[in-house]
Amino acid sequence: MSEKILARAAGVENASAGDILWVDVDMAMMDDILGPRIGIAEGLKEFGDRLWDEGKAVVISDHYMPPANIHQAEIVKFTRDWSKSHGVDNYFEFAGPCHQVMAEGGFVRPGEIVLGTDSHTCMGGAFGAFATGVGSTEMLGILVTGRTWLRVPETIRAVWRGRLPSGVMAKDISLKTIGEVGHAGATYKAVEYSGDTIDGLPMDERLAITNMAVEMGAKAGLMRCDGRTREYLEERGITVDENRVSFSDADAEFAETYSFDAAALTPVVACPHEVDNVYSIDDIPETAIDQAYLGSCTGGRLSDLRAAAALVKGRKIAKGVRFLVSPASVPIWKEADLDGTLATLAEAGGTILAPTCGVCVGLHSGILAAGERCISSSNRNFVGRMGSKDAEIYLGSPLSVAAAALAGRIADPRGFIREGI
């Protein structure tokens, strides 16, 4: 898939792993933390202070929203003012993490090249796009010319077959895959997810998987465009350009192939301080937590919130545990409010936050103190990721996060499901 997408974008007939290609960029995304203020605004002045195509630029203030101090407020103001002065109509704030805004806004489409100043831009690969993160210097060149060069990556295939058991989610698929490949096992490779398990997942779940491809070092995470992809986009008024839809050929050669049995998968947890430090929840010793975080561009979509709400309905979270809930976007927040999902989470003891990156990246809205321990549905558990470098972060599915909030420790969500909750 990656070879075909990059070949089209470069205007060549064929491309092979290792080729260096100059490609036309379909969409360029910047956020507040690594956006215009980091060299881009000043650098652009040297090239006429104009963008190659304002309509193909998206700027999203999400990491510092809502601003927690004057410094953050000034960065957001700079980002807002710069976007307005440069004719960028696709500017968003108080909307949610950038990757979810990109998905819901139709800014990522099958077969396109989507580049952003955030490493989890690879989430867009769930739509069959070649989406990846770039640095601010590279983004400056893209804004000036609309083009950049990319080396065509080798591709690892991750094949998942079978039906997921009750209590197991796409986040468990993602963590299990990362645990097998390793945190550097896919460095500058594309990871192509396939198999009937993937085909059966709704877009919410697919997005959770491709979002974390970068945690293996991958340049991109890809899934083929199918009926579910088209339905998701059509619901948002987006028509798929069938000429751009790419599939791997039946005889395509992959650098490596990993095969997984979904039916045998248990809930898994990534333990501190690496995303590939993955264990079955059955093998985690009793581990008390101080905070459970349900949210982010990885684990805060509507299906995530509903699954957690079903688990905690009629129960109360454990004494002394902070249960933070941050929907992944404003539309998700609204729908979860209308159907009672947020009320159920709040009644159990959850604190409902604005759609934001703040907790996930340790900037505001629930950062950790030294000695504290959190289980999170987000995508990283590095040292200091969510606050103090002396805190511990465990990563799990939204169901595992909800179960831990109830138990006050890392707990198997299947036990609560068996109880009929």
State both tokens at 2: 């990656």
* pLDDT level of residue 418 (50, 70, 90 thresholds): low
Residue 187 DSSP label = T
Check residue 168 and give its pLDDT: 97
Write out pLDDT tens, residues 251-289.
999 999 999 999 999 999 999 999 999 999 999 999 999
| Closest listed residue to residue 115, CA positions, set 100, 98, 133 | 133
d(CA 376, CA 357): 13
Phi, psi of 141 (to 5 degrees): -60, -40
pLDDT value of residue 419 = 52
Mean pLDDT of 162-170: 96
Question: Where does residue 271 rank: exposed (0-12), middle (13-18), buried (19+ CB within 10 A)?
Answer: middle
Question: In angstroms, how far is the first alpha carbon of the chain from the final one?
Answer: 42
What's the mean pLDDT in 59-79?
95
Report the pLDDT averaged over residues 101-127.
Answer: 96
- The mean pLDDT of 134-149, rounded to a whole number, is 96
* Residue-wise pLDDT tens digits, 168-222: 999 999 999 999 999 999 999 999 999 999 999 999 999 999 999 999 999 999 9
Please tell me if the domain spanning 2-260 has the same topology as the one spanning 266-418. yes
Q: Where are the domains of the chain?
A: 2-260, 266-418
- Residue 420 pLDDT: 46
Q: Which helix (H) or strand (E) holds 130?
A: strand 130-133
Residue pair 280/268 in contact (Cβ under 8 Å)? The answer is yes
pLDDT digits (tens, 9 = 90+) for 385-396: 989 999 999 999
pLDDT of 383 higher than 90:
no
**DSSP assignments along 4-51, one per residue:** HHHHHHHT-S---TT-EEEEE-SEEEEESTTSIIIIIHHHHHTTTS--
Within 8 A by CB and 6+ apart from 281, the residues are 266, 267, 268, 269, 396, 400, 410, 411, 412
What's the distance, CA 300 to chain centroid? 10
The pLDDT mean for the chain works out to 95
Mapped onto helix, strand or coil, the DSSP state of residue 217 is: coil
DSSP 380: -
Q: State the pLDDT confidence band at 11, using cuts at 50, 70 and 90.
A: very high
Q: What's phi and psi for 60, nearest 5 deg?
A: -130, 115
Whether the pLDDT of residue 350 is over 50: the answer is yes
- On whether the CB atoms of residues 322 and 290 are closer than 8 A, the answer is yes
- Confidence check: pLDDT of 149 > 70: yes
Structure tokens at 42: 């000043």
- Give the pLDDT score at 362: 83
**3-state DSSP percent of the chain in helix, strand and coil, to 5:** 40, 20, 40
- What gap in Å lies between CA 294 and CA 355, rounded to an integer? 11
Task: Give how far Cα 334 sits from Cα of 38, 52, 339, 341, 353, Å.
Answer: 33, 35, 9, 10, 12
Output the CATH code of domain 2-260.
3.30.499.10
Mean pLDDT of 214-242: 95
In tens, the pLDDT along 19-56 reads 999 999 999 999 999 999 989 999 999 999 999 999 99
**Which CATH number is associated with domain 266-418?**
3.30.499.10
